[in-house]
Every structure is written in structure tokens, then in C-alpha cells.
């Protein structure tokens, strides 16, 4: 409500835009009780004031923090706010000298091969911490309300997991459990991790899964709380209600193998969005903490409570814990991460060893390829002693119909069943298949048996190259050269037999082995040997090849076969002998130079690919080129807010992985899948992606990073460009590339710092001007400091452009670009040479592509303006674009791309950003208006952060420049004060506080750095900076707070 008061015109137009029923529900939402929250803000040198008298402070609220009350208690928000006081000591520590780039927030122990559950452990631990926080908070709340503060720990020693729909709700049970001393498990990572499972509705499947657990009705919780002691769970057991037969089943299973089931699949039940608002608030806080701060905004605000919390399933990406759940159950995710872990492990060994063994040139290579037979199927089948792997058709899968088959045994294959097939198709081929579960732990265990064994015999191998979790290539050239040609066959087979039997002894899984003169031949030999065989392909290679289907060649897939058949006009299966008939030039013509050459060679049994591990230069990088997080399952959204929350989670996941890998990256690529126009809304596969079109967009960060805030901002900006309507979204993938080792990156930064230069520079960039006076002459040393532009200006400009497009994208139409209908950055730009057209509209008809010379528009034309009523907003927003921003952007890109930054532009940059913030708010509100399913303002949080990161870059540059001089220039100080005031005019206290705090911390940081380096005495800029913070910046905040009766809680810094 206060937002709207701040912006009457906006609010008016918002109201106008509503239809009758929307208006009504808006009014009704306003009429609900208002909650007042106290502002608590930590600032240095201010006395701490806290307490109830803050409550009536009526202040505009920018934060989505004032969310609805989880348990309908009007004091909650107040207490929540109070609970988040930061103990001064703590914050003082944090404030000291860490640059925020070095932050590793919430990252647990490093993920190593063999510890894949660490992730979930961390997740779990965090949950417990939040529960604890909640319990404390509840205690305090009761105290204040004059209720009994202390609660008997009825559930002490109980670990409760709630399954499915219950009365009361999972939220309430969660609350009761944690308040009364129990532990609440959001996930059942392991069946034994919960002492009791609360469940009201019995399905046969659940009964099967939980048959050995204490499954109780929800009433057990309620009644226990009521009488104040733990009641006997048996009186509430769910299985009492089942028939005698089923009970017997229960008893029987007690006597039999308890380890029979996979605990993983218990998690697949619905889970309520737990204590949502409480955690959402917490989450917001965590986000703020990225800047080592906690900001509590407050004031009166219409509480939008009354929205019904739709029950979200953990199966869809709307659920806050979707990602860990999904990855825990995704075979392909496991496969990929195992592979990456293995690769890292072996490369690290090579790196540490210095050089790998080099085999002599004189001898011919010999490669051994080994692979478990139908790995998942074999391993999983061990958990099912009743099944006979030799006789039963066994497949490993989650589901019953459209679920993928990860692996099938050779019996199943004899019916035509293949890995990757859907169960449905497999059943068509052979209805009696036995579907068994994944056993990820077991696969991991056997893989480590395999690789540890290979390592134990590494003396026999020149290289161990992990292809996959169940598959390795060994270079046995040296071993092969140990014997005479005549003994070679026997010599090789002896090794194969030994390896095979050893591994089979260790894992009880059959292995096949193929050996050949190169990787290609070893692979083909392996394939021929399967299952349970050994083959050394030594002679008659040509004949052997002739009969191999082309499709079996490595790197030859569906597409190449299609093309090839097309080329030779054949519809039947093509063999390698067919391939060999085609001239090299023709192959190159059809398939491209590399692929053509490769096919030509393969047809002749030639393959020079090496399996030498090359670790590259950096220990962390280890040859890796990218890190990505992909999700193309369970993506179902209704609102942009949901999408943004999910994207933020993706960013966090990405950040976590980068931190674990000790990497930073400077390029971000977003790939979105959009439901194809003709595809059904619900694809055949439940929660699958169906037929989709893909859209990629990448952007470069000014500086390599692994911070989720930065990544999230970038991802969000990219997703705006791609502009897929939330309901059409079916897949999201984020890739970070241009990787660097984060340690080297940090060191590079620090060295530069101590040299008195700009902080945020790419370490690999060469020359850094030490004397800042260079900046003043635009004609001197331009090339040397050219890169400096990248530190500050172009990033903003790039963002600017993105924002620009976004604005138009948002208001133009809700469709995304499709092939031939893309939005291009360049459309915003004037033509390459002449600048007659200063500004090109983003939207243009694809039917009328502009001539290139006139406008430099891309070949592909842009989004078609849709005949939408909302188009009217287009001009409205366009007209309100501050021309200064436009000019700055255009100038910057047009002329300054290769010029240096003049520090005097700093002033204009602050002005610009302040303007832009206004603009963003405006745009967001337009967006809000357009958001049909949403009468609440969308999360602005990310937007704010996007821009905030720009400011941080500018601030850093500013401080870096001025630190070793006499401090900041007066003009710049004034500009910054102006910026702060503008923020406050928009009631954006949070941003203000953060900006000032950021300066404070940067100054401290530089101080620490210069102390640490050789510099004697105190830097001249330091005192001045501190003085200015105190006399110029802080008063602005304090004035504002006094006027608005906001109390700032003090805290000493440094």
C-alpha cells in the first residue's frame, strides 16, 4: 500500500488496469489487517534501540519480507524482525577485511567422489538450524504474548517425517514437532533417519515402502501435544486399519531382509511447502547476508495474507526443495557427476605426478576397454535375490509407463528392449519385464571398487582413463610390448582374464573386456565381446569392420546415420563397408571437415584419439571448460515470480558447484526450453518436457565470479531477453564458462590491489596503470588501460541494454523469440559507422527486415509486435525512458568501446543508475500490472540486486582509484549523496544502507590490504574516506530515519 502511495500515478494506472473482479479482490486484500513491523538496522556508532516501541513506526516497505504470517499470529512479523537482530560481535567479525568475492556462503564440505550425500546432509543441517531459529522465535513470541513460554519437549528423541496429505497440515505438524522438542525431517534421505512417519492416507505403495517403519496417524502428534506427553505410537499406527493379510505381510517383512528397498524412492510423495513464509523471510535474509548484512525493512504495509498456499508437489520445480530432490533421484545427474568426479580425481593425480608415463613411439599403441555388463541392471538385481539375471527380463526404472529404462539386462535385450526406452515400449515388446529400482549407493560402491582396483594395478597401465562410472580405458602399450609378437595374443588375454575375474570377485558384477590397437578398435572389440566376454581384436581388422553397423561406431549417432542414408539413398542399415566406399572429399562435404575425416578414418580402423590425461595448467581447472546445471523435468510454472525464485535456486546450485570446484567463470549461458507450438500442454511423459524449442543466450560478466547473487542477476537478465512465458517453460539450463581457478583469480586481484590499482580486473589482462593520473588524459595510454573500461562501464552498459530490451520485451508481448524471430542486442544499436539513427526500436516486423546499411539490424528479424491491447504500455514506457541513459549507453557503445574511462564520468554514472532504478521500479510495476495471476507485487528483490551489483562495481572502482590519493573527489561524493537521496525518495532504505555499508567494507578491505603489503603508514585516502562516510553519507541515512521514525540499531564496525 505504501508503495503505491509513493507512486500515486502508478497506482492509479494500476487500478485502471484491473478488471472488476481483480479490483474487488485487490480491495479485499487491502482491507485485511495491517501488520506493523519494526525496522532494525545495524549501523556503526549508533546506540542500540530496540523493543516494542518500534512497532508503530509506519514506514514504507520495499521488502517482500513482510510476508504473510505462517500461523496467523499478528505478532509474528514483529518478532521475526526482532529475532533477526544481529549480535554486534558477530557482525563486527564479518565486517573486517573479507572482500565479498571471497565469500563462500553456505557451502559445506567439498563434494568428493564417494560422498555424494554430503549435499543432502548440508541441506538437512540447514533445515535443523532454521527449525531451531523458529523454535527460539516462538518461545519469545509466547513470552511477549504472556503465554507459557516453555514447552515440554514431548517429542525429544523423535525424528518425524510427514508423508502425503495429513490433518492437520504438514505445516502444523512441523511446527508442533519442532516446538515440542522433536526433529522434523523435510526429506527422508534414508528410511532409518526418521523414528516415526506421519501419514494419514494409506496407499498400497506406501504400505509397501513403509512396512518396516513406525507409521502413525497425524492425530498422534496432536493428541500427544494435547495431553502433554508422548502417547504410545502403536495406538495410532496406520497399519492397524489394514486387513489381516496386509498385517501379516508386515510381520513377514520384519523377519526378512530389511535392506530390500531403496530408500530413495520414498521421497517421491508430495510435500507441503513448509512454513513457507518463515523460510522465505529467512531466505531473503540469507541473500542479504551475501553482503555481510542483514537489513530489516519495516513499516506498515498491507499484508497480502489470504492468498491460499497452493499445495505444491516436490515433483515440480515450484517446490522450494525441488532441486535436491530431483538431483537425488536423477540417474543422468548421478552419471554426469560421477564422471566429472572421476575425471577430476584422475586428472588431479596426473597433475600431482607431474608427467604421465609416455609410451615409446616405436611400439604400436594397445588399448584395453572394460565395462560392466548392463551395469545398473546387474547391480540392482543383486538386491533382488528372487530374480535370475540370466532368465528374467530385468529393467531398472522409477515408474511404470513413461519412465525411462536406465539399464536392461541381456534377457530384456533379446526382446529388443534397450537402455533409454520407456517402460511402456518395453512392455509392448515383452510384458513380463521385472522393473526394479535404482541403487545409486551400490553403483557408486562398485565403481569405486573398480577404480581402486585399477589404481592398485596402475603399474601395468600407462594410463587409466575413466570413461564413465562403469567403464574405463586403459593404455596397455607398455604391457603389450613386453612380449614377443607370437605370444601377444596369450599375453593380452591373460591380462584381460585377470582383470575381469578380479573385478567380478570384488563386485559380483560381470565385466567385459575389449582390446585393440586404438580406442576405436578396443571399443568395437568390447562391444563384440559383450556380455561377459573378452575379445582382443588383433588381426583381420578390415573384415571385422566390414560387418559392423555404422551406428555402432563411436560418435556416430542418429543424425549421422540419417544424413548418410540420405546421401547414398539407402533405407537399410548401413555398414562400415558402405562407409568405406565413400570418398573422403564427399564425406567432408556432407559432414564437415572434422567429422568427414573422422568417418573416413573410422571406416579404415584408424583412430588417433588419445586417452592421455592432460590436466592443463591449473590444478582446479583440470581441463574443464564449463560447469552447468540443467533441469528439463518438473518445470511447471504459472507466474514470473515462481520462475525467478527457481532461477535464483539454480544460481545457488551453480554457485555451490563452482565453489566446490574452486572455480570462477565469466560467461553465463542460459538455455530455456519452450513448449513447441504444436506440442500438448501436458506431454506424454508426466512432468516431462515434451517437444520443445530451445533458446540460448549468453553474456559475459565483467569479472569472473562464483557468487550466486551475481549469477542470479545475470541469469534473470538473460531469461528476460529470452522472454518465455512462465506457463510455456519446460526446461532451464545454466552454463558458466570462461573458467578460471578461483585461487589464482583471487591472488591476481590482490596483487593488483597492493599495487594500488583497480580491483576488479581480469587477472589475465596484461597492463595495469598504476598512476591514476593516466586516467585524466583520454589520449594517452588508451590501449593500455583499455581493459579498464570493462571493469565498470561496459558492464553497466551491457546491463543497460539488457534492461532496455527487457523493458520492451516485457511490455511488448509475452511470446519469446523463436527461430527467425529473435531479439538481438544489435537492434538497439545505431549502425556500425554512421550514427544518424541514434536509436532503433527493438520491435519490428519480421516481414520487413531492415536493410543492413541503414540500421545494422541483424539478418534475422525480431519479435513480431503482437496485436495486444497491452501495447499501449510500450509507448508509455518508451517515452519515459530517461534520455540521459539512452545517450550514455549509445555513446558508451558507439565511441568508447576502446577508450579509457574518465573518472569524471563517475558522477554521471551515479545519476544514471539512480535514474535507472526509478525506471526499473516503474517497469516492474508495469510488469506487475500485466501479471494476470498475481495481484501482489512481484519480487523486486532480484531486480534490486541486479542493479546493486552494478553499483558495487562502480563503488569499488571509485575507491580503488581514490584510495591512494587524498580520497574521493568532492563532486563524486556529492553525486553519491544525490544517489542516496534518490534511493530514499523511493523509500529504498535497504539499498542505501547496503551501498554505504559496502563502501565501508571496501575501505576496510583496502586498508587491510595496504597494511598487509609493504606500504608504510596509513594511506592518505583512508582517513578521508572514513571521514566522508561519517559526515556525508551516514547523516543522510540518519536524517531519513529520523523523519520516518525508523530506528537504526547500532553496531560497531571494524
Ligand X SMILES: Nc1ccn([C@H]2C[C@H](O)[C@@H](COP(=O)(O)OP(=O)(O)OP(=O)(O)O)O2)c(=O)n1
Partner DNA sequence: AAGTTTTCAGAG
Partner DNA sequence: CATCGCTCTGAAAACTT
Which residue has 563503488 as its cell numbers? 955
Site residues for ligand X, 563-582, by CB under 6 A, read none
d(CA 613, CA 1044): 64
- What's the CA gap between 312 and 604, in Å, rounded? 56
Binding piece for DNA, criterion CB under 7 A, among 138-146, 202-210, 759-767, 800-808 = 202-210
Q: How far apart are CA 110 and CA 620, in angstroms?
A: 13
The whole-angstrom separation of Cα 1035 and Cα 577 is 83
- Provide φ and ψ at 42, rounded to 5°: -95, 120
CB of 262 to ligand X, least distance (A): 15
Stretch that binds ligand X, among 366-374, 731-739, 889-897, 1014-1022 (CB under 6 A): 366-374
**Helices vs. strands in the chain: H and E counts, helices first:** 40, 20
Smallest separation, CB 406 to ligand X (Å): 3
Query: Taking CB under 6 A as the rule, does residue 346 contact ligand X?
Result: no
In the bound state with ligand X, the residue whose beta carbon lies nearer, of 419 and 565, is 419
Q: Check if the beta carbon of residue 847 is closer than 8 Å to that of residue 758.
A: no
Q: Quick one: residue 898, left, alpha or beta (phi over 0 = left, psi -120 to 50 = alpha)? A: alpha
508: contact with DNA by CB under 7 A: no
**Over the range 98-124, which residues count as b (16 or more CB within 10 Å of their CB) and which as e?**
bbbbebebebbeebebeebbebbebbb
Pick what 23 binds: DNA, ligand X, none; C-beta below 5 to 8 Å, kind-dependent: none
| 44-103 binders of DNA (CB under 7 A) | none
Here's the x/- map for DNA, 399-418, by CB under 7 A: it reads as xxxxxx-x------------
Burial state string for 388-415 with b = 16 or more CB within 10 A and e = fewer than 16: ebeebbbbbbbeeeebbbbbbbbbbbeb
530 binds, among DNA, ligand X, none (CB under 5 to 8 A by kind): ligand X
Q: Which residues within the stretch 734-773 sit at the binding site for ligand X (CB under 6 A)?
A: none
Q: Which is nearer to DNA, 365 or 398 (CB)?
A: 398
**Smaller CB distance to DNA: residue 59 or 403?**
403
Say if residues 65 and 284 touch (Cβ distance below 8 Å): yes
Q: CA nearest 649: which of 293, 125, 279, 922?
A: 279
| 595 contributes a contact to DNA by CB under 7 A | yes
**By the 8 A CB rule, do 412 and 289 touch?**
no
Candidate residues 113, 451, 591, 963; the one interacting with DNA per rule CB under 7 A? 591
Q: Could you give the C-alpha distances from 858 to 220, 305, 808, 855, in angstroms and in order? A: 67, 47, 18, 9
Alpha-carbon span 293 to 249, nearest angstrom: 56
- State the Cα–Cα distance between residues 213 and 196, nearest whole angstrom: 7
Round to whole Å and give the CA distance between 387 and 371: 22
Instruction: Compose the 662-701 pattern: x for residues touching DNA by CB under 7 A, - for all others.
Output: -----x-x-------------xxxxxxxx---xxxxx-x-
Out of 101, 269, 373, 707, the residue judged to bind ligand X by CB under 6 A: 373
- HSE of 794 in the Cβ direction (CA atoms, 13 Å)? 21
- Region of 756 please: left (phi>0), alpha (psi -120 to 50) or beta: left
Peptide bond into 168 cis (omega under 30): yes
Q: Is 335 in the site for ligand X (CB under 6 A)?
A: yes
Q: Is 47 in the site for ligand X (CB under 6 A)?
A: no
Q: How far is the CB of 389 from ligand X (least distance, A)?
A: 12
> What is the helix (H) or strand (E) element at residue 707, kind and residue range?
none
- CA 262, 263, 264, 268 torsion: positive or negative? positive
| Beta carbons of 1012 and 961 less than 8 angstroms apart | no
Binds DNA by CB under 7 A, chosen from 592, 680, 778, 834: 592
- Among 105-113, 368-376, 899-907, 938-946, the segment contacting ligand X (CB under 6 A): 368-376
Task: Pick out residues in 405-444 that bind ligand X (CB under 6 A).
Answer: 406-407, 419-420
Look at the block and give the residue holding cell 563532486: 971
| 313 interacts with DNA by CB under 7 A | yes
- 4-12, 98-106, 631-639, 800-808 -> range binding DNA (CB under 7 A): 631-639
Element (H, E) at 439: none
The reply to whether 213 sits near DNA by the rule CB under 7 A is: no
CA dihedral 657, 662, 663, 664 (to 10 degrees): 90
Residue 761 contact partner, candidates ligand X, DNA, none, CB within 5 to 8 A by sort of partner:
none
Indicate which single residue of 268, 441, 774, 870 sits in contact with DNA (rule: CB under 7 A).
Answer: 268
**Phi/psi class of residue 551: alpha, beta or left (left: φ > 0; alpha: ψ in -120 to 50)?**
alpha
Least distance to ligand X, CB of residue 379, Å: 8
Q: Does residue 620 interact with DNA by CB under 7 A?
A: no
Segment contacting DNA by CB under 7 A, of 636-644, 728-736, 749-757, 985-993 = 728-736
| 521 touches DNA by CB under 7 A | no
Footprint of ligand X on 942-961 (CB under 6 A): none
Query: Contact region for ligand X (CB under 6 A) — 365-373, 533-541, 865-873, 970-978?
Result: 365-373
Positive or negative, the CA dihedral 421, 424, 430, 434 is positive
> Segment contacting ligand X (CB under 6 A): 245-253, 373-381, 589-597, 1000-1008?
373-381
Q: Report the residue from 330, 512, 705, 742 that binds DNA according to the rule CB under 7 A.
A: 330
Q: Which residues inside 457-476 make contact with ligand X, applying CB under 6 A? A: 470-471
Could you say which of 374, 717, 942, 947 contacts ligand X (CB under 6 A)? 374
How many Å apart are CA 986 and CA 1048, to the nearest integer? 18
Judged by CB under 7 A, does residue 1040 bind DNA? no
CA angle 110, 115, 120 (to 5 degrees): 80
Shortest spacing between CB 401 and ligand X, in angstroms:
17
d(CA 531, CA 154): 57
The alpha helices in 459-487, defined as continuous H runs, are 477-481
Site for DNA (CB under 7 A): which residue of 198, 394, 495, 556?
556
Number of residues counted as binding ligand X (CB under 6 A): 16
Check: CB of residue 937 under 8 Å from CB of residue 869: no
Q: Are 865 and 871 in contact (CB under 8 A)?
A: yes
Does position 561 interact with DNA (CB under 7 A)? The reply is yes
Q: Is 790 in the site for DNA (CB under 7 A)?
A: no
Ramachandran angles phi, psi of 526, nearest 5°? -60, -45
Contact code string over 450-479 relative to DNA, x by CB under 7 A: -----------------xxxxx--------
* Between 161 and 327, CB nearer to ligand X: 327
- Give the position of cell 585399477: 454
Out of ligand X, DNA, none, what residue 372 binds, judged by CB under 5 to 8 A for its kind, is: ligand X
Buried b (16+ CB within 10 A) or exposed e, 542-577: eebbeebebeebeebeeebbeebbeeeeeeeebbbe
Binding-site string for ligand X from residue 525 to residue 564, where x marks contact by CB under 6 A and - marks none:
-----xx---------------------------------
Nearer to DNA, 416 or 593 (CB): 593
Closer by beta carbon to ligand X, 166 or else 403 = 403
Contact code string over 418-447 relative to DNA, x by CB under 7 A: -----x------------------------
Binds DNA by CB under 7 A, chosen from 107, 139, 676, 733: 733
Sites for DNA among residues 812-851 (CB under 7 A): 819, 824, 826, 832
**Residue 376 contact among DNA, ligand X, none, beta carbon within 5 to 8 Å by kind:** ligand X
User: Binds 733, which of ligand X, DNA, none (CB < 5 to 8 A, cut-off by type)?
Assistant: DNA
Which listed range, 284-292, 327-335, 905-913, 1034-1042, lies at the site for DNA (CB under 7 A)?
A: 327-335
DSSP state of 729: E
Q: List residues binding ligand X (CB under 6 A).
A: 331, 335, 371-376, 406-407, 419-420, 470-471, 530-531
Amino acid at each position: 500500500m505504501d508503495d503505491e502511495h509513493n507512486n500515486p500515478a502508478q497506482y492509479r494506472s494500476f487500478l485502471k488496469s484491473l478488471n472488476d473482479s481483480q479490483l474487488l479482490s485487490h480491495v479485499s486484500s487491502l482491507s485485511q489487517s495491517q501488520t506493523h513491523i519494526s525496522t532494525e538496522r545495524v549501523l556503526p556508532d549508533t546506540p542500540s534501540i530496540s523493543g516494542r516501541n518500534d512497532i508503530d513506526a509506519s514506514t514504507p516497505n520495499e521488502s517482500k519480507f513482510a510476508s504473510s504470517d505462517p500461523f496467523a499470529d499478528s505478532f509474528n512479523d514483529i518478532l521475526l524482525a526482532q529475532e533477526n537482530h544481529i549480535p554486534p560481535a558477530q557482525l563486527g567479525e564479518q565486517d573486517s577485511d573479507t572482500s565479498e568475492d571471497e565469500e563462500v556462503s553456505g557451502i559445506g564440505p567439498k563434494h568428493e567422489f564417494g560422498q555424494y550425500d554430503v549435499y543432502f546432509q548440508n541441506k538437512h543441517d540447514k533445515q535443523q538450524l532454521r527449525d531451531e531459529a523458529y523454535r527460539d522465535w516462538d518461545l519469545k513470541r509466547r513470552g511477549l504474548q504472556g503465554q507459557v513460554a516453555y514447552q515440554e519437549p514431548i517429542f525429544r528423541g523423535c525424528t518425524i517425517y510427514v508423508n502425503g496429505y495429513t490433518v492437520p497440515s504438514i505445516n502444523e505438524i512441523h511446527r508442533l514437532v519442532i516446538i515440542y522438542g522433536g526433529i522434523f525431517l523435510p526429506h527422508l534421505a534414508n528410511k532409518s533417519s526418521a523414528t516415526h512417519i506421519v501419514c494419514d492416507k494409506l496407499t498400497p505403495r506406501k504400505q509397501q515402502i513403509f512396512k518396516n517403519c513406525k507409521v502413525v496417524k497425524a492425530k498422534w502428534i496432536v493428541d500427544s501435544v494435547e495431553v502433554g506427553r508422548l502417547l504410545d505410537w502403536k495406538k495410532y499406527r496406520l497399519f492397524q486399519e489394514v486387513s489381516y493379510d496386509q498385517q501379516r505381510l508386515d510381520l513377514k517383512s520384519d523377519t526378512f531382509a530389511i535392506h530390500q528397498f531403496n530408500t530413495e524412492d520414498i521421497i517421491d510423495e508430495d510435500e507441503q511447502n513448509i512454513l513457507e513464509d518463515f523460510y522465505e523471510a529467512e531466505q531473503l535474509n540469507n541473500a542479504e547476508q551475501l553482503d555481510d548484512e542483514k537489513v530489516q525493512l519495516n513499516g506498515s504495509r498491507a499484508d497480502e495474507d489470504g492468498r491460499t498456499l497452493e499445495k505444491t508437489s516436490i515433483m515440480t520445480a515450484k517446490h522450494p526443495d525441488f532441486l535436491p530432490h530431483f538431483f537425488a533421484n536423477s540417474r543422468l545427474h548421478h552419471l554426469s557427476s560421477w564422471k566429472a568426479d572421476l575425471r577430476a580425481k584422475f586428472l588431479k593425480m596426473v597433475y600431482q605426478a607431474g608427467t604421465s608415463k609416455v609410451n615409446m613411439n616405436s611400439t604400436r599403441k594397445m588399448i584395453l576397454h572394460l565395462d560392466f555388463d548392463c551395469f545398473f541392471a546387474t547391480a540392482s538385481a543383486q538386491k533382488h535375490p528372487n530374480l535370475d539375471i540370466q532368465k528374467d527380463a530385468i529393467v531398472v526404472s522409477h515408474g511404470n509407463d513413461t519412465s525411462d529404462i536406465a539399464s536392461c539386462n541381456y534377457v530384456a535385450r533379446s526382446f529388443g528392449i534397450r537402455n533409454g526406452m520407456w517402460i511402456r515400449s518395453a512392455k509392448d515388446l515383452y510384458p513380463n519385464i521385472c522393473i526394479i529400482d535404482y541403487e545409486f549407493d551400490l553403483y557408486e560402491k562398485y565403481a569405486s571398487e573398480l577404480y581402486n582396483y585399477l589404481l592398485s594395478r596402475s603399474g601395468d597401465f600407462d594410463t587409466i582413463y575413466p570413461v564413465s562410472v562403469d567403464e574405463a580405458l586403459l593404455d596397455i602399450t607398455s604391457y603389450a610390448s613386453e612380449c614377443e609378437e607370437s605370444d601377444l595374443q596369450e599375453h593380452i588375454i591373460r591380462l584381460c582374464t585377470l582383470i575381469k575375474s578380479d573385478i567380478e570377485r570384488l563386485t559380483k558384477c560381470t565385466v567385459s573386456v575389449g582390446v585393440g590397437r586404438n580406442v576405436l578398435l578396443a571399443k568395437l572389440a568390447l562391444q563384440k565381446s559383450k556380455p561377459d566376454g573378452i575379445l582382443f581384436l588383433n588381426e583381420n581388422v578390415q573384415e571385422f569392420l566390414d560387418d559392423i553397423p555404422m551406428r555402432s561406431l563411436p560418435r556416430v549417432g542418429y543424425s549421422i546415420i540419417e544424413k548418410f542414408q540420405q546421401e547414398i539413398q539407402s533405407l537399410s542399415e548401413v555398414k562400415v563397408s558402405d562407409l568405406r566406399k565413400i570418398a573422403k572429399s564427399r564425406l567432408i562435404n556432407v559432414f564437415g571437415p572434422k567429422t568427414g575425416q573422422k568417418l573416413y578414418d573410422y571406416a579404415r580402423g584408424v583412430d588417433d584419439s588419445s586417452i592421455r590425461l592432460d590436466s592443463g595448467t591449473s590444478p582446479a581447472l583440470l581441463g574443464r571448460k564449463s560447469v552447468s546445471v540443467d533441469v528439463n523435468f518438473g518445470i511447471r510454472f504459472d507466474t514470473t515470480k515462481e520462475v525467478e525464485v527457481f532461477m535464483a535456486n539454480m544460481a545457488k546450485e551453480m554457485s555451490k558447484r563452482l565453489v566446490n570446484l574452486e572455480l570462477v567463470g565469466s560467461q553465463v549461458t542460459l538455455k530455456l526450453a519452450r513448449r513447441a507450438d504444436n506440442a500438448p500442454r501436458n506431454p506424454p511423459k508426466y512432468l516431462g518436457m515434451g517437444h520443445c524449442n530451445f533458446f540460448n543466450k549468453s553474456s559475459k560478466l565483467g569479472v569472473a565470479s562464483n557468487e550466486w547473487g551475481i549469477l542470479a542477476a545475470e541469469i534473470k537478465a538473460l531469461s528476460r531477453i529470452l522472454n518465455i512465458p512462465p506457463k510455456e517453460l519446460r526446461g532451464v539450463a545454466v552454463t558458466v564458462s570462461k573458467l578460471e581457478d578461483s585461487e589464482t583469480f583471487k591472488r591476481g586481484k590482490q596483487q593488483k590491489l597492493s599495487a594500488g590499482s583497480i580491483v576488479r580486473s581480469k587477472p589475465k589482462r596484461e597492463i595495469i596503470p598504476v598512476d591514476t593520473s593516466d586516467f585524466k588524459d583520454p589520449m594517452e595510454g588508451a590501449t593500455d588501460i583499455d581493459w579498464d573500461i570493462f571493469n565498470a562501464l561496459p558492464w553497466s552498459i551491457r546491463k543497460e541494454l539488457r534492461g532496455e530490451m527487457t523493458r520492451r520485451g516485457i511490455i511488448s508481448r509475452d511470446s519469446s523469440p523463436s527461430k527467425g524471430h529473435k531479439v538481438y542486442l544489435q537492434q538497439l544499436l545505431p549502425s556500425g559507422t554512421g550514427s544518424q539513427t541514434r536509436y532503433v526500436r527493438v520491435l519490428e516486423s519480421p516481414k520487413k527486415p531492415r536493410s543492413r546499411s541503414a540500421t545494422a539490424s541483424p539478418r534475422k528479424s525480431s519479435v513480431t509486435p503482437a496485436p495486444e491491447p497491452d501495447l499501449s504500455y510500450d509507448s508509455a514506457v518508451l517515452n519515459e525512458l530517461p534520455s540521459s541513459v539512452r545517450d550514455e549507453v549509445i555513446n558508451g557503445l558507439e565511441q568508447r568501446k576502446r577508450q579509457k574511462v574518465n573518472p569524471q564520468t563517475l558522477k554521471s554514472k551515479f545519476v544514471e543508475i539512480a535514474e535507472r532504478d526509478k525506471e526499473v521500479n516503474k517497469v516492474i510495476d508495469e510488469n506487475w500490472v500485466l501479471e494476470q495471476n498475481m495481484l501482489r507485487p512481484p519480487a523486486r528483490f532480484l531486480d534490486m540486486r541486479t542493479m546493486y551489483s552494478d553499483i558495487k562495481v562502480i563503488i569499488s572502482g571509485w575507491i580503488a582509484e581514490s584510495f591512494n590519493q587524498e580520497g574521493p573527489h568532492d563532486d563524486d561524493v556529492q553525486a553519491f549523496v544525490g544517489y542516496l537521496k534518490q534511493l530514499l525518495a523511493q523509500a529504498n532504505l535497504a539499498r542505501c544502507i547496503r551501498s554505504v555499508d559496502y563502501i565501508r567494507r571496501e575501505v576496510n578491505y583496502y586498508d587491510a590490504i595496504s597494511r598487509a603489503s609493504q606500504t608504510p603508514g596509513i594511506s592518505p585516502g583512508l582517513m578521508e574516506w572514513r571521514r566522508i562516510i561519517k559526515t556525508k553519507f551516514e547523516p543522510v541515512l540518519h536524517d531519513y530515519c529520523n523523519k520516518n521514525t525508523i530506528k537504526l540499531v547500532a553496531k560497531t564496525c571494524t
